[in-house]
């Protein structure tokens, strides 16, 4: 994949903006027409998305620590700042709907905190493993954000001028992030592959680090229950269409073990959503107080 890193660095540098640019005290237009249950699901979805964006910032900093090109390092550092800013505005949008970070269940908040810590400070000897197997998930998360999560919010909160401008900036930033995701994936897929299929000995012998994955899976199970009534089969189909198109933009993507593992994980997680959810019906009350 040919990419002018100098132009990308310049564009992202000039495209920085601030969460403080907006009047967050202004009322949400049309909020009174939104049913209370849907408002809650949207508020929790925004908070969950903010948590994912913060993990994205940690993942992009992992990229910056691993790539050799100084321009790519600078780009990934700037993208990490983008992700932190995105999280900040999503938390503020949720607050406009009446929900704060503490409204996420304890397991969700804990899992984000614990997983973020493990991304920033991996177990001894696990830096390469974390980068190759965890950070490669960021492309799949970015595609989900761009195709499913943000559109689900846009559809229901459209028409509010503040939200419309925030979404415009988010969309612009995410398109650049995805370009760099494809670039990095192709760099890895087309180059020599390190053996990262197994757990590093120090990580394998530290069960507390491995157990930090379990709350994260519970977190996604919880959000599946919340979002199952927000996402449509068409949105899920659109998401998988983009995932299946990844090799067209990065022909060597599936040479990367971390990406292949992530694709399998996302296919399993997306099995909860419309078109598949009947098979998970008994488990849904464990993730949310609602039935499906």
Task: Give domain status of residue 23, yes or no.
Answer: no
In this structure, of 41-45, 126-130, 198-202, 263-267, the range with the lowest mean pLDDT score is: 198-202
The pLDDT > 90 percentage for the chain reads 36
Identify whether 193 is part of a domain: yes
Residue 25, domain member (yes or no): no
CB 263 within 8 A of CB 140: yes
Q: What is the pLDDT of residues 65-79, one digit of tens each?
A: 889 999 999 999 999
Q: How many whole angstroms separate alpha carbon 33 and alpha carbon 39?
A: 10
Q: Is 211 contained in some domain?
A: yes
CA-CA-CA-CA torsion for 28, 34, 35, 38, nearest 10 degrees?
-80
CB 107 within 8 A of CB 216: no
Q: Which residues of 226-242 are buried (b: 16+ CB within 10 A; e: fewer)?
A: bbbebbbeebbeebeeb
Q: What is the mean pLDDT of residues 50-62?
A: 92
Higher pLDDT, 280 or 215: 215
Domain assignment present for residue 125? The answer is yes
Q: Considering the domain boundaries, does residue 185 fall inside one?
A: yes
Average pLDDT value for residue range 27-44: 86
CB 60 within 8 A of CB 79: yes
Whole-number mean pLDDT of the chain? 82
Residue 222 located in a structural domain: yes
Q: Number of folded domains in the chain?
A: 1
Residue span of the structural domain in which 128 resides? 5-18+33-287
| Residue at 292 is within a domain | no
Mean pLDDT, residues 183-207 taken together: 70
What CATH code is carried by the domain that includes residue 48? 1.10.620
Using one digit for the tens of pLDDT, what is the confidence trace for 136-193? 788 988 998 888 888 888 888 877 899 999 999 999 999 999 999 999 999 988 876 6
């Amino acid at each position: 994949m040919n990419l002018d890193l100098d132009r990308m660095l310049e564009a992202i540098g000039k495209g920085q903006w601030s969460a403080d640019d907006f009047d967050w005290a202004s009322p949400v237009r049309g909020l009174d027409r939104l049913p209370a249950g849907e408002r809650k699901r949207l508020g929790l979805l925004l908070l969950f998305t903010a948590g994912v964006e913060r993990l994205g910032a940690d993942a992009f900093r992992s990229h910056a620590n691993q790539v050799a090109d100084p321009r790519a390092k600078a780009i990934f550092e700037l993208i990490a700042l983008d992700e932190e800013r995105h999280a900040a505005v999503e938390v503020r949008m949720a607050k406009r709907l009446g929900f704060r970070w503490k409204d996420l269940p304890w397991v969700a908040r804990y899992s984000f905190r614990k997983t973020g810590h493990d991304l920033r400070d991996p177990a001894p000897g696990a830096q390469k493993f974390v980068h190759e197997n965890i950070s490669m998930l960021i492309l799949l998360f970015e595609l989900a954000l761009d195709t499913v999560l943000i559109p689900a919010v846009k559809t229901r909160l459209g028409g509010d001028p503040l939200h419309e401008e925030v979404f415009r900036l988010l969309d612009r930033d995410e398109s650049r992030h995805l370009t760099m995701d494809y670039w990095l994936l192709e760099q890895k897929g087309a180059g020599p592959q390190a053996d990262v299929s197994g757990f590093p000995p120090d990580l394998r012998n530290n069960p507390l680090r491995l157990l930090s994955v379990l709350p994260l899976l519970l977190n996604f199970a919880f959000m599946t229950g919340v979002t199952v009534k927000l996402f449509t089969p068409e949105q899920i189909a659109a998401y998988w269409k983009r995932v299946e198109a990844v090799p067209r933009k990065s022909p060597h993507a599936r040479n990367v073990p971390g990406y292949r593992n992530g694709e399998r994980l996302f296919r399993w997680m997306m099995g909860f959503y419309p078109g598949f959810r009947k098979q998970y019906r008994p488990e849904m009350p464990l993730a949310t107080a609602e039935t499906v």
